[in-house]
């Protein structure tokens, strides 16, 4: 395992996989915690997907490990897992993550897939790249520190657009997402009710989607139609989209809940 983990570089227990073999994934996370304990210094994975982060949290909590998930900024979706010695305060500053800025003409257009494709063409594994944020004239992406200098030195074009890469970034960051606001009423906070409202289908169809494994809460498949949805949950309905539940607290005069949510667009 020592070849795959270090306090400042190295690979990942997740690599480029999705969480398809949970036992294998869990075993590698357990090895990371064991390595941290043996070396008495922090151990970091590469960037994990949201589903991998959920699985990692379950393993770390079971092991009573001292850990932190961090992706370079507060709202990052792809984040590294850092496992720290028991009496150390988890520190964001020592995560091996760099922010890199790609500057280009405002008249040009750069897409997320073009950025990712360019990085992959440099031989960078997907798991070494975190979130990619784009706005007019600027793209900021986060990557494992070991690949930063090579990217800054070698990349001069993204999708045919001339760019200048530099280490670091200026605040505020480009917006990670745009959203469509949704407000409606539902009979209860049950998963089938919320799914029906957000997906624009009947409650029966929503139940079918749920039992078929097409609905996820915080990147975890939930097949229980009566599962309670809570404020802050991220609900994904395959084929429809991803939603953030903002509010479920107010009740109408007819006793229905007012659902406020945002859809990723």
- What's 54-90 look like in SS3? HHHHHHHHHCCCEEEEECCCCCCCCEEEEEECCCCCC
Q: Using CA atoms, how far apart are residues 156 and 149, in angstroms rounded to an integer?
A: 13
> Is the per-residue pLDDT at 211 higher than 90?
yes
Q: Name the strand (E) or helix (H) holding 40.
A: none
The pLDDT of residue 19 is 44
> Is the per-residue pLDDT at 17 higher than 80?
no
CATH class of 97-167: alpha beta
Mean pLDDT, range 49-53, rounded to an integer: 90
Contact 101, 139 (CB under 8 A): yes
- What is the DSSP code (8-state) at residue 255? S
CA distances from residue 239 to 79, 118, 194, 261 in whole angstroms, order as listed: 25, 28, 16, 18
Measured in degrees and rounded to the nearest 5, phi and psi for residue 127 equal -70, -10
CA distances from residue 9 to 95, 128, 222, 250 in whole angstroms, order as listed: 9, 10, 35, 48
Measured in degrees and rounded to the nearest 5, phi and psi for residue 151 equal -65, -45
Q: Which of 21-25, 247-251, 254-258 is predicted with the least confidence, judged by mean pLDDT?
A: 21-25
Confidence of residue 8 (pLDDT cuts 50, 70, 90): very low
> Is the per-residue pLDDT at 13 higher than 60?
no
Q: Using CA atoms, how far apart are residues 230 and 79, in angstroms rounded to an integer?
A: 23
Residue 264, beta-bridge partner list: 179
The pLDDT of residue 177 is 82
- pLDDT tens readout for residues 138-195: 999 999 999 999 999 999 999 999 999 999 999 999 998 889 999 999 999 999 999 9
Judge: domain 22-94, CATH 3.30.1370.160.
yes
Global pTM exceeds 0.85: no
66-70 and 79-84: which strand pairing?
antiparallel
- pLDDT tens readout for residues 93-138: 999 999 999 999 999 999 999 999 999 999 999 999 999 999 999 9
- Dig out the tokens for 71 from the structure: 């992706």
Domain regions of the chain by residue span: 22-94, 97-167, 179-264
Mean pLDDT, range 236-240, rounded to an integer: 94
Rg (CA), the chain: 21
> Is the per-residue pLDDT at 18 higher than 80?
no
Confidence of residue 29 (pLDDT cuts 50, 70, 90): very high
Query: Above pLDDT 90, what percent of the chain?
Result: 84
> Is the per-residue pLDDT at 11 higher than 80?
no
Number of Cα atoms under 13 Å in the Cβ half of residue 240: 19
CATH number of 179-264: 3.10.290.10
Selected residue with higher pLDDT from 177 and 52: 52
């Amino acid at each position: 395992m020592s070849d795959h983990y270090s306090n400042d570089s190295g690979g990942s227990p997740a690599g480029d996989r999705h969480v398809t073999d949970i036992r294998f994934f869990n075993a590698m996370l357990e090895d990371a915690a064991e390595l941290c304990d043996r070396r008495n210094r922090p151990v970091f994975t590469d960037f994990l997907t949201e589903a991998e982060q959920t699985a990692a949290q379950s393993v770390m909590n079971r092991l009573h490990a001292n850990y932190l998930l961090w992706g370079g900024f507060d709202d990052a979706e792809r984040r590294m897992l850092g496992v720290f010695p028991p009496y150390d305060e988890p520190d964001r500053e020592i995560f091996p993550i760099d922010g890199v800025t790609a500057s280009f003409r405002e008249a040009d257009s750069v897409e997320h897939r073009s950025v990712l494709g360019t990085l992959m063409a440099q031989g960078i594994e997907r798991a070494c790249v975190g979130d990619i944020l784009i706005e007019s004239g600027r793209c900021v992406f986060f990557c494992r520190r070991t690949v930063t200098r090579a990217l800054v030195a070698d990349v001069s074009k993204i999708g045919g657009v001339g760019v200048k890469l530099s280490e670091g970034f200026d605040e505020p960051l480009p917006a990670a997402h745009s959203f469509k606001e949704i407000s409606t009423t539902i009979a209860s906070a049950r998963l089938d009710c919320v799914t029906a409202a957000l997906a624009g289908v009947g409650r029966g169809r929503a139940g079918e989607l749920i039992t078929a494994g097409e609905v996820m809460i915080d990147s975890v498949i939930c097949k229980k139609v009566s599962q309670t949805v809570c404020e802050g949950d991220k609900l994904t309905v395959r084929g429809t989209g991803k939603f953030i539940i903002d509010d479920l607290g107010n009740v109408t005069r007819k006793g229905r809940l007012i659902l406020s949510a945002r859809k990723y667009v």
